[in-house]
Chains A and B, each alone.
Chain A
Amino acid sequence: MNINLKTAIKYLVLAAVLSYPLFAFASEYVLHVMVLIMVYMVLAMGLNIVPGFCGLLDLGYVGFYGIGAYTAGLLTIHFGLSFWVIVPLAALNGAIWGVLLGAPTLRLTGDYFAIVTFGFSELVVLFLTNEIWLTRGPLGLPGIAPVSIDLSWLSRLINPEWDWYWEFFGLRPYFYLGIFMVLLVYIIMGRMEDSRLGRAWFAIREDPIAASSCGVNLLTYKVIGFAISAAIGAVGGAFLARWTMFLSPDMFKFWESFLVLCMVVLGGLGNFKGSLVGAAVLIALGEVLRMVLPTLGLPAETRFLAYGLIMVLMMRFKPAGFFPSIATTSLKNPMLIKLKKELGSS
């Protein structure tokens, strides 16, 4: 037998997760949480590009998430376009805003960049709240059509009288759509990490001056990274819009940026695979706290207390996260440290 135990267990777990929604006992709630985890997996992988790969703190990620969601929501309501058309359009809109914000601001040093992105996301929320003619403001945007992966002809084939398709499937199409989306972003991230682009980003993160003296155009690569990250955030938003079928400006407050940042840091800065774990752990933790806190008489929002504490402790004891990226770990390599000392860079 060539298959070792570890691989076998991995595939068994994967098969169990994939087939879980097909069973009758898969409750809507658990499915909902699983879909939510997948949305955040996409967001966390996308955000990881900026602080993880390029070493810049982006506090405005939720702005792109919101832009993507509202783009998708409005396009669905007003033009009734298909999901497969809307997602690229939302991604494009996210990327455009990424370039518009990134091109003038990515020259800035870390702290200033963080605060500008933060201001941007706040402006997005203000826009969504106040431009009532477009977004209905605080009332929210209801009635976004769900994704129709209509397989009901299958059901009619069996019994024309009984349309069991929606009855049975419920959230299930979103589950598989989510898996597809996570996989797609995962593959894209993997390809990017291993490309010229990814290497340039890591070089910028480890030492911008050395990178630029090796011919890496800092601004160009940073803007590309920021735009791709924004586009992935917008894809997450587009999926959210078609899944929840309702949007409101409250869904895109700063907390969301912070939550996704927590996932990235927990999973490991610069390791997009770690972001998957970070998303799963923090959403699961959030759901547990959401259930526990009200029994203690506390509002569910106080779960952010735990997130805040996690962030502080992570930075104190494991600043690179639980699964640090290879490059950051290699800094502990004595030879590299010696080399850095000889070259005189701090």
Chain B
Amino acid sequence: MLEQQLINGLTLGMIYALIAVGYTMVYGVIQLINFAHGEIFMLAAFLAVTFITVFGLPLYVVIVLTMACCALIGVLLDIFAYRPLRQSPRLAALITAIGMSIFLQNLAMIIWGSRPRPFVQDALPSFLRTTAFSIGNANVSWMQLSIFVLASTLMLVLFFIINKTRVGTAMRALSQNRTGAALMGINVNRVISFTFALGSSMGAVAGIMVAIYYNTLYPTMGYVAGVKAFAAAVLGGIGSVPGAMIGGIVLGIAEALGAGYISSLYRDGIAYAVMIAVIIFRPSGILGKSTVEKV
């Protein structure tokens, strides 16, 4: 029982971590809680199903294609919604983010309908649902194993991009000091757009994996997943990419254990409660540095 919960929680946590890096990177670079990030996660699931049913593409092509589409959506979101508000008060940008989230959610409702639908099962290899191996009493399915491998690979790629490439260096510079970075000749808007693209493509993979894992997708699925991923980002220390990964995994395991041992009714409540507690008692999170407000 415990082992199985831990494995389920870890799988869930890897998915949360993938969404959480999107929140944390955007927050690190422009100090904005991108509420619409959860909606990109949702759009990814619907786009993937559409690509499979309409064009009949194989799953791995669909994943790459959806990542590209969501990266584009993320960039467009930044250009049209957030870029005009760079110099405005934080409140305005935050309200815009909520507005975009509601807009995208309802757009999806108009395009694909509001009812939940199953994922296209024909597109999936049938062995995914079978057990890959067992640890003690717990079974790890091929599905869980592939989520784990895919998410870990993506995170390694992300680490490489952020720490070893030029654009990654620019992103880190921007999160330190935007004006300073601009003075050093960094094209600020382009780097911010790249951050949105990177975060959105990570969220897109998470969206497809959740849709396959739970075999269901609906227009409001981004809302709860988005909040939980944000909670994970806060838990790990918002602005810190490794923090988001750790936060996601911790939250996923906490949720699985809480649902298993406390009450499954309050499954979502655990994430909210963790988030509120962390924000109140340790706003800088597990890995975040406590910043002193400059006067």
Contact = CB atoms under 8 A, between A and B. Distances in A.
B98 A311 contact: yes
Nearest to B27: A111
Contact of B268 (A55, A105, A126, A308): A126
A51 B91 contact: yes
B106 interface: yes
A311 B95 contact: yes
B102 interface: yes
A122 B99 contact: no
Contacts of B31: 111
A112 B279 contact: yes
B109 A116 contact: no
- A55, A110, A114, A308 interface centre (most CB from chain B within 10 Å): A308
Given A126-B266, A311-B99, A57 B106 contact: no
Nearest to A317: B84
A114 B33 contact: yes
Contacts of A105: 276, 279-280
Contacts of B96: 311-312, 315-316
Contacts of B64: none
Nearest to B106: A305
A326 to B, nearest CB: 17
B94 A305 contact: no
Contact of A120 (B93, B107, B223, B276): B276
Contacts of B269: 122-123, 126
Contact of B266 (A59, A130, A299): A130
A88 interface: no
Interface string A228-267: 0000000000000000000000000011001001000100
Contacts of B272: 119-120, 122-123, 126
Contacts of A119: 227, 231, 272-273, 275-276
Contacts of B95: 57, 261, 265, 311, 315
A105 B107 CA distance: 34
Interface in B20-68: 31-33
Contacts of A115: 33, 230, 234, 275, 279
Contacts of B273: 119, 123
Contacts of A19: none
Nearest to B263: A130
A122 to B, nearest CB: 5
Nearest to B103: A308
B295 interface: yes
Interface residues of B, number: 47
Contacts of A120: 272, 276
A305 B33 contact: no
Contacts of A258: 98, 102
A122 B227 CA distance: 10
Contacts, number: 127
Q: Which of A116, A129, A261, A307 has the largest number of chain B CB atoms within 10 A?
A: A116
A133 B41 CA distance: 36
A319 interface: yes
- In this complex, the interface size class of chain A, counting residues with CB under 8 Å from chain B, is 35 or more
Contacts of A104: 280
Nearest to B264: A130
B94 A111 contact: yes
Contact of B90 (A110, A116, A269, A299): A110
Contacts of B101: 308
A114 B109 CA distance: 26
Nearest to B295: A209
Contacts of B109: 298-299, 301-302, 305
B275 A308 contact: no
Interface in B237-295: 263, 265-266, 268-269, 272-273, 275-276, 279-280, 283, 293, 295
B136 interface: no
B169 to A, nearest CB: 26
B125 interface: no
Contacts of A165: none
19 contacts: A51-B91, A112-B283, A114-B94, A115-B33, A115-B230, A115-B234, A115-B279, A119-B227, A119-B275, A119-B276, A258-B98, A265-B95, A304-B102, A307-B102, A308-B100, A311-B99, A312-B81, A315-B92, A315-B95
Interface of A: 51, 55, 57, 59, 104-105, 108-112, 114-116, 118-120, 122-123, 126, 129-130, 209, 254-255, 258, 261, 265, 269, 298-299, 301-302, 304-305, 307-312, 315-316, 319
Given A108-B280, A129-B265, 16 more contacts: A57-B95, A105-B280, A110-B90, A110-B91, A122-B268, A122-B269, A123-B273, A126-B265, A126-B269, A301-B109, A305-B110, A308-B101, A308-B102, A311-B98, A312-B100, A316-B96
